[in-house]
A = this chain, B = another copy of it.
Amino acid sequence: MNANIKEIAKRANVSIATVSRALSGQNNVREETKKHILKIARQLNYNPNLLARNFVKGKSNIIGLILPDISDEFFSEIIKSIDDTSFISGYFTMVISSHKNRSLVESINTMMNSGIAGGFILLVPFMNSEIEKALKSERVPFVIISGDSELGDYDIITIDNYNAAYNAVKFLADNGYKKIAHIAGPDENNDAALRREGFLNACTKLKLETKKSWIVKADFTLESGERAANLILKQKERPEVIFAANDMTAIGCYNAASKLGLKIPDDIAIIGFDDVLISQYVSPPLTTIKVDTETIGKTAAEKLIQKMTQTEKLKPQTIKISTELVIRNSC
């Protein structure tokens, strides 16, 4: 059985109100009394009942984290970063992933209405009217982590996909590449769409050669990358470099190249996106664009906590997290 403030009050010979004040670090309690109370609390190994506290305060110090149905490196780092940041400000992180048994909308509704979370962070690759509707009540504050900064009038933390892609292509141009292909991600994924847009605009602006048959869609998996690379590399005219929408796709290109007897980067150069762990270990190490997951998580948590603590409503804000080109040996 855990001790409670009533018990402490009895032993310290004061009222529960004084105990509450002493323990929650308020200043309107005599130094001596405070010390006495704290001592007894320590003796009893007292821990405040957070459920009671959250309940009576009408708000929770739990931050919900809604994840879509995928598990990858990216998420475990985001989770960690959010948990780190939340903890420092006295919050807990609750994970609620969506999957066959629970839809994203259901997760949002739970976070929004059960009172269990004081705010939440929503990771979504896309937006639709169902989600939009679930978010409308705004009963508890939230922020969104997404590849798309144009989802609507929300607080959004986003990767600067467009500029990252643009600059990657610029880097390739600066290094003398002229003929460039792209393996895109799934259509409905906003990160993918923006990377593709950045690629296309850079090609036009920088006068690089590309063509329809060099732009192949894949779905972020290694296998789809290999398939797509095959389609590109078996054409009569071959590009000098492939810009893959993510690292796994890029590694798929490695496989395709290897099977076709093409040397990287001499016969075909490759650049990826994400900088996943493997990228530095493939051979040759993959040049890619590093996404700073730690900053993303940290920024999202900080923004959310800001919203949770301040009363006046601020205008929704989009924060773009910049990326970094990691130059290795694949181009």
Contacts and interface: CB of A to CB of B under 8 A. Distances in A.
A93 interface: yes
Nearest to A112: B47
A188 B277 CA distance: 25
A114 B48 CA distance: 6
So how many copies of this chain end up in the complex?
2
Contacts of A52: 55, 115
Interface residues of A, number: 49
A45 B114 CA distance: 11
Interface in A9-59: 45, 47-52, 54-55
Given A75-B76, A76-B75, A79-B79, A47 B84 contact: no
A314 interface: no
A94 B95 contact: yes
Nearest to A106: B87
A263 interface: no
A80 B71 contact: yes
Contacts of A113: 2, 45, 47
Given A52-B115, A102-B87, A258-B283, A96 B93 contact: yes
Interface in A47-92: 47-52, 54-55, 60, 62, 71-73, 75-77, 79-80, 83-84, 87-88, 92
A222 interface: yes
A281 B222 contact: yes
Contact of A55 (B55, B72, B281): B55
A97 interface: yes
Given A52-B115, A71-B80, A258-B283, A139 B2 contact: yes
Interface string A255-299: 100100000000000000000011001110000000000000000
B115 A95 contact: no
A79 B92 contact: no
Contact of A115 (B50, B110, B278): B50
Given A76-B72, A76-B76, A115-B51, A94 B97 contact: no
Contacts of A101: 84, 87-88
Contacts of A97: 79-80, 83-84
Contact of A51 (B75, B116, B139): B116
B84 A281 contact: no
Given A47-B109, A47-B115, 6 more contacts: A49-B115, A73-B76, A75-B76, A93-B94, A258-B283, A278-B278
17 contacts: A45-B113, A47-B113, A52-B115, A62-B94, A71-B76, A71-B79, A71-B80, A76-B76, A80-B99, A84-B101, A87-B102, A88-B101, A92-B116, A93-B94, A258-B283, A281-B282, A283-B283
